[in-house]
Structure 1
Amino acid sequence: MSNHLQREIPQEAFDWYDEYAHGGMDRRTFLKKLGSLAAVGYSMTVLTSALLPNYALAEQVSFNDPEILATYETFASPLGHDEGQGYLVVPKNMSGPRPVVLVVHENRGLNPYIKDVARRLAKAGFIAFAPDALFPLGGYPGNDDEGRAMQKNLERSKIEQDFLAAAKFLKGHPQGNGKLGAVGFCFGGYMVNYLAAVESNLLSAGVPFYGTPAAAELRDNIKSPLLVHLGELDERVNKTWPDYEKDLKRLNVPYTVHVYKGANHGFHNDSTVRYDKANAEVAWQRTLDFFKETLS
């Protein structure tokens, strides 16, 4: 996605998409607002094709890559939806134990972009596992609108328990080294913060990308180091950060926060025009370095 195209689209279109994607606006209203821009010279086709995901753009590591092996694995979740499933990707020809990383999707299920993130981690030498919150309903349906509606209809506390069960399943992987990292995006960023807070000794490292914090009453449990990525233009998430940072400082939690200049919510997702290649690549390299440092 070209940075030139991103500059051409007015910021209010990104803000409307963020509100739509997080349940604050229905699709009809979103398209009507985009239509108001079309009336003053913006192409509706360009706007919709740029803002809505095109997952053909998101494959950086092929599922046929000879250096990795991908499978689907199920795990027990007695306090959640009884059973969960996720996308497990391991490096081929592993020698010795490897660090394990849980990958948590956005609020629409296990889409192709998140699967690719798991493959990127395996390509870098980690064992990666990306659960699908929508597994109890048949799994990610192939489009984000339907996936978003499906996830919204699931009980939030049961989804949280499913990811907690997935984290424990992955931490016990027979080829893992016993140290668990987690990286998540949007809803997944929230889930990383939740996993860091719900059990003190579960995570050895957490990387929330533009995620809101766990409930205040849970935060006293946080011990694992955090690497926090925020987009400068992401007002909805950023307004939650000062209160969260205050608690992290009070608890002496090791953390680093990076606010990426000119970046929107979702800037790491390379399937839409919100993708900011330069910032995404810096954030991802920092993520890999952080995991190598904390999980080795």
Structure 2
Amino acid sequence: MSSERPKLPIEAVELYNEFIHGGMSRRAFMTRVQGLAVAGLGATAVIEALMPNYALGQQISKTDDRIKTSYETIPSPKGNGTIKGYFVRPVSADSRSEKPSKLPGILVVHENRGLNPHIEDIARRVALSNFMAFAPDGLTSQGGFPGDDYKGGLLFNKIDKAKMMEDMQAAAEWLKARPDCTGKIGVTGFCYGGSVSNNLAARMGADLAAAVPFYGGVPPDAEIPKIKAAVLVHHGELDKNAAASYPAYDKALTAAGVAHEGYIYPNAVHGFNCDATPERYNKAAADLAWGRTIDWFNKYTRA
């Protein structure tokens, strides 16, 4: 007899996605979860299974001796004044010399909860693929990520989104201007960060080499012709609204002459790349998407 925990129904995962995107209160979420019949699991266990487990999703230790990390606070005069972020660079013999080798930079943008431990781990993964990575915290003006995704989401909703976008652009420009950066940068992000990736591509034009949005919203139609970066789009097949946006985006990028590719991953939901939320995580889709992401950055930021 198998001791494996029953798989949650797609309805439970969709409820979680609605909840984390601000579509319902915590109480309403818990009430609706209680209404789901999941054989072998009570409501509390279902909720626990849906919530992030950052230790489970950590692939690279914070103290890994192959990387050097720091928290940096940079000016954002058009945004919220300053933005803090997590900077990661691979350590090598060159990096310990007087003249460190220059590397391309990758901006890593969080979902709508701020710079949580999972996104910091993504930045470390990027660095171990021989890039420098910077993961800004859009919640800086509210004191930063509070250590809890639900509370982070509440803070996220308090911030002027236009100013937060300026913060993200300031972070990208800071990364690009670093003396140890080659001057070629890319951006990747998830959900809100996917939208930021698409919109930074439109805002920054030729100053951005590559953008890899995971399940992100697309820029306004009038902005798409401004994109000069190579764009790689990832969506889950079961993330129906987001996936449905790709054909029109594909057509617009083609018309604008933008180098791009897009993939819809079978049996994958919104958030499929996040191994800190096991019920959303799809390892096959995540591994394939991540491999494509690193290949994309290697192709377009090292040329």
The question of a shared fold, defined as TM-score above 0.5 by the shorter chain, is answered with yes
Rounded to whole Å, the distance in 2 between the matches of 1:164 and 1:115 is 19
* CA pair 280-39 structure 1, distance change in 2 beyond 3 A: closer
**1:103 match: secondary structure:** strand
Is 1:85 the counterpart of 2:90? The answer is no
Shift of the alpha carbon at 1:62? 0.5
Instruction: Quote the residue 1:17 is aligned against.
Output: 16
**2:206 match: secondary structure:** coil
**1:34 match: secondary structure:** helix
**Contact kept in structure 2, 1:61 and 1:119, CA below 8 Å:** yes
**Contact kept in structure 2, 1:195 and 1:202, CA below 8 Å:** no
Rounded to whole Å, the distance in 2 between the matches of 1:236 and 1:43 is 30
Superposed CA deviations along residues 75-97 of structure 1, whole A, max 9, x for unmatched, are 11000001111000001123521
**Contact kept in structure 1, 2:123 and 2:133, CA below 8 Å:** yes
Shift of the alpha carbon at 1:135? 0.8
Is 1:278 the counterpart of 2:284? The answer is yes
Aligned CA RMSD, in angstroms, stands at: 1.5
Shift of the alpha carbon at 1:41? 6.0
Number of aligned positions between the proteins = 292
Instruction: Quote the residue 2:132 is aligned against.
Output: 127
Shift of the alpha carbon at 1:236? 2.7
**1:249 match: secondary structure:** helix
Seq. identity, %: 43
Instruction: Quote the residue 1:261 is aligned against.
Output: 266
Rounded to whole Å, the distance in 2 between the matches of 1:39 and 1:259 is 28
| Residue type at the aligned position of 1:130 | A
**Contact kept in structure 1, 2:243 and 2:264, CA below 8 Å:** no
**Contact kept in structure 2, 1:184 and 1:208, CA below 8 Å:** yes
Instruction: Quote the residue 2:204 is aligned against.
Output: 199
Rounded to whole Å, the distance in 2 between the matches of 1:157 and 1:232 is 30
Shift of the alpha carbon at 1:119? 0.5
Rounded to whole Å, the distance in 2 between the matches of 1:71 and 1:228 is 29
* CA pair 10-56 structure 1, distance change in 2 beyond 3 A: same
Instruction: Quote the residue 2:35 is aligned against.
Output: 36
Rounded to whole Å, the distance in 2 between the matches of 1:120 and 1:202 is 24
Instruction: Quote the residue 2:141 is aligned against.
Output: 136
Shift of the alpha carbon at 1:154? 0.1
**1:55 match: secondary structure:** coil
**2:55 match: secondary structure:** helix
**Contact kept in structure 1, 2:8 and 2:38, CA below 8 Å:** no
**Contact kept in structure 1, 2:250 and 2:262, CA below 8 Å:** no
Shift of the alpha carbon at 1:276? 0.9
Give unpaired runs (5+ residues) of structure 1.
none
Instruction: Quote the residue 1:224 is aligned against.
Output: 229
Rounded to whole Å, the distance in 2 between the matches of 1:39 and 1:11 is 11
TM-score, normalised by the number of residues in structure 2: 0.93
Rounded to whole Å, the distance in 2 between the matches of 1:9 and 1:40 is 9
Rounded to whole Å, the distance in 2 between the matches of 1:17 and 1:39 is 15
Superposed CA deviations along residues 44-63 of structure 1, whole A, max 9, x for unmatched, are 23311111111111210001
Instruction: Quote the residue 1:67 is aligned against.
Output: 66
Rounded to whole Å, the distance in 2 between the matches of 1:41 and 1:170 is 49
| Residue type at the aligned position of 2:52 | P
Shift of the alpha carbon at 1:30? 1.5
Rounded to whole Å, the distance in 2 between the matches of 1:256 and 1:244 is 11
Instruction: Quote the residue 1:151 is aligned against.
Output: 156
